[in-house]
Structure 1
Amino acid sequence: MKFLKVFIVVLIINFGALGIGTLLMGEGARSPWYLGLEKAPWTPDGWVFGAAWTFLMICFSVYMTFLYLKRPTNKIVSLFIIQFLLNVSWNFLFFNQKLIDVALLSILLLTIIVTAFFITYFKDLKGKSIFILPYVVWLCIATSLNLYVSLYN
């Protein structure tokens, strides 16, 4: 029962981040500005982003629940909050403000934080660490997409 309570709270926070990010991105991927950008050849179709983020936030919520129950420390909570802020800010920086290079820095920091979760707490969670791997992989792909836009626009 304790797992379920923490999981629901973390899930609400993570999906809240997605909602806030969506609100802050303006027209987003449908904007004339974005449609006019030179994008990486490996850029997925638009629908993939919504499906991917839904899956990622469910997996990350499971991971964070296991981690928090194992180590309920201020450090874990602080890193989670930083991850939340970086996740939300990327949409605003990239789509709303069109600050491609600043957004790249934001997503690089996000990738570092999420990868640090995986590496730092692997010994604590062992096989349960698999739940954060999709997020790490996706952030590497997303970072490469942002880097491509940064280099070619």
Structure 2
Amino acid sequence: MDWFLFCIFLAATFAAGATGAMFPTGEWYKQLNKPSWTPPNWLFPVAWTSIYLLMAFAGARVAVLEGSAYAMAFWAMQIAFNALWTPVFFGLRNLRASLPIMAGLWIAVFGATITHWQLDLWAGLAFVPYLTWVSVAAALNIAMVRLNPDQKPLRLETL
């Protein structure tokens, strides 16, 4: 594996992850109704750090391979949706608007998992925890919309 390439992919993942620091959960999130199966707060940074490392590993392994265009397109698509979801959900507090972003993220992660797997077994396996985590996140996103029907998003002029 090309370590310089790994560092480039890792920088991309942590840049996307920086939205979490820019839009923290805060009191607003604590006040929301959540399903009983919501993961504990400490698990989110642990899971995302692990997932970001695995995503960078997978991307670096596959980027140099012949025929990796679709895998790289899905990799780019998933990191874009990943970076977009947090500002919409936590920044704008728009639970409903975050749903189509989450759907796009799930499709992109599924596509990345399949296309990486086709090129390199280890790269494909590296995406499996991400696919699992984003499936839980999607279910949690849907549950949050259902459990908080009166939740109003922030208006842009209040930002």
TM-score above 0.5:
yes
Question: Distance in 1 between the 2:82 and 2:110 partners?
Answer: 14
Aligned to 1:49: 44
3-state SS in 2 of match to 1:44: coil
Q: How many residues align?
A: 148
1:116 is displaced (CA, Å) by: 0.7
1:29 is displaced (CA, Å) by: 2.1
Aligned to 2:10: 11
Question: Distance in 1 between the 2:84 and 2:123 partners?
Answer: 28
Q: 1:85 aligns with which of 80, 83, 101?
A: 80
Question: Distance in 2 between the 1:120 and 1:56 partners?
Answer: 17
Q: Within the alignment, does 1:101 sit opposite 2:96 as a pair?
A: yes
Question: Distance in 2 between the 1:112 and 1:124 partners?
Answer: 19
Question: Distance in 1 between the 2:9 and 2:66 partners?
Answer: 15
Letter in 1 for 2:9: V
Letter in 1 for 2:26: R
1:101 is displaced (CA, Å) by: 1.2
8 Å CA contact 2:117–2:125 kept in 1: the answer is no
Q: Within the alignment, does 1:129 sit opposite 2:128 as a pair?
A: no
Give deviations 1:115-142, integer Å, cap 9, x for gaps. Answer: 1111233221124411111110000011
Give deviations 1:54-97, integer Å, cap 9, x for gaps. Answer: 00000111111111121475544443332222111111111111
Question: Distance in 1 between the 2:44 and 2:26 partners?
Answer: 13
Using structure 2 for the length normalisation, give the TM-score: 0.84
- Map residues 130-145 of structure 1 onto 2, 5 A cutoff: 130-145=125-140
Instruction: Please state which structure has a larger fraction of its residues in helix.
Output: 1
8 Å CA contact 1:87–1:110 kept in 2: the answer is yes
- What is the root-mean-square deviation in Å for CA atoms of aligned residues? 1.8
Unmatched runs of 5 consecutive residues or more in structure 2:
149-159
3-state SS in 2 of match to 1:121: helix
Q: Answer 1 or 2: higher relative contact order, Cα 8 Å, separation at least 6.
A: 1
3-state SS in 2 of match to 1:62: helix
Aligned to 1:66: 61
Using structure 1 for the length normalisation, give the TM-score: 0.87
